[in-house]
A = this chain, B = another copy of it.
């Protein structure tokens, strides 16, 4: 990037390519669009609100000409700092939210700024199902979901966002519009460009529109089990056994004892003292079969060491159990003002060991570490609660975060299962992938964004992976 363009010049030029109400330069807007759901803050020089692919293309052509960085963002619910701008242009896609359902082709077309919940609702209105369900689904946008390859509790059974992306409209950094994929449910025609943009965290192109696959409505009935364990090793091993039992298991969530304590008092379910953690298992199927499947699941859990086994089949009783999981985010956020949400993911056969590692890290670094998340696919969310202003505490927190990554990698795990690398984990990337993989990633970035103007400083590390 060459000599920076003055902010006034940038503002004036942006108002040539967009309407005045699509360009904001004031301090309030710049601060408002300077963050995501992490504690990291940035400050863009300008905030723009495109309303079409053409608008995005015009902004990127301008940015290319002026060598100004562009930071695409949806609702700012990301948990890796991926949407935090560092100068340049914050490109806010939330005005692009149209959804058009094609029920007979089992798909829909959504603009990037449509929320996940709106996509789910649009599918449901036609008797179809869009499975990805990240925790932020009522706010988060599908563009962001695709950029991060978001998942959620039902990812165990239905996979992450990637499985549902049939095609994309992507604006490349030079402003060119690339259409990938198409309307067919299967496609073996050329390189899989669609899947290269999924999970690319807004660093290769700006996703403006997606064609999303829908699936038949799942069976109508559910059963929920609450399974309590006295030790984390029993719990961790039970997860692997439960996950193998049946495809009727559609989610398997973990709350460790520190999470339970945070929810306690607020949570509707009184739990016995002395549990190391609980699993919430959701089975989905037909009511003729569910009691039997629930019984099998309960038996397996008991054999694996569960000391508390509750089975709920009535809708009310199930909702009661799940309320505990839904309370988690709010409850742990109340422990201390700053929440650092990690996303380290391990192979299923290493989960028990990793949970022990996390307990040891909590003690060693004296941090308020709570562990919950999607146990069934090894994707747990270690969250550290802290006070950003307390320098001594933050030093321990940073060391604990590094220790969490190291523990996950030592166990054949990875830095992120669904939150992405973004700003927060980029410098850990060289420890998580091979030099050849890192070099390949750098070359892909160079191919699509030779000027390096699109979401710079994200995903790729500051050093490492140079040509061999």
Contact = CB atoms under 8 A, between A and B. Distances in A.
A449 to B, nearest CB: 12
A348 B192 contact: no
Contacts of A240: 104-106
Query: How many of these chains are in the complex?
Result: 2
B347 A183 contact: yes
Contacts of A228: none
Contacts of A204: 191
A85 interface: no
A216 B249 contact: yes
A377 B440 CA distance: 34
Given A177-B436, A190-B459, A193-B441, A348 B104 contact: yes
A8 to B, nearest CB: 33
Interface string A113-155: 0000000000000011000000000000000000011010001
Interface in A186-213: 186-193, 195-196, 198-200, 204
B412 A182 contact: yes
Given A179-B437, A243-B216, A244-B106, A186 B155 contact: yes
Contacts of A148: 188
Contacts of A27: none
A72 interface: no
A132 to B, nearest CB: 12
A186 B447 contact: no
Nearest to A374: B186
B215 A437 contact: no
Given A148-B188, A178-B437, A443-B447, 12 more contacts: A106-B240, A155-B186, A159-B163, A183-B413, A186-B374, A190-B429, A191-B199, A193-B441, A195-B198, A216-B243, A216-B246, A289-B289
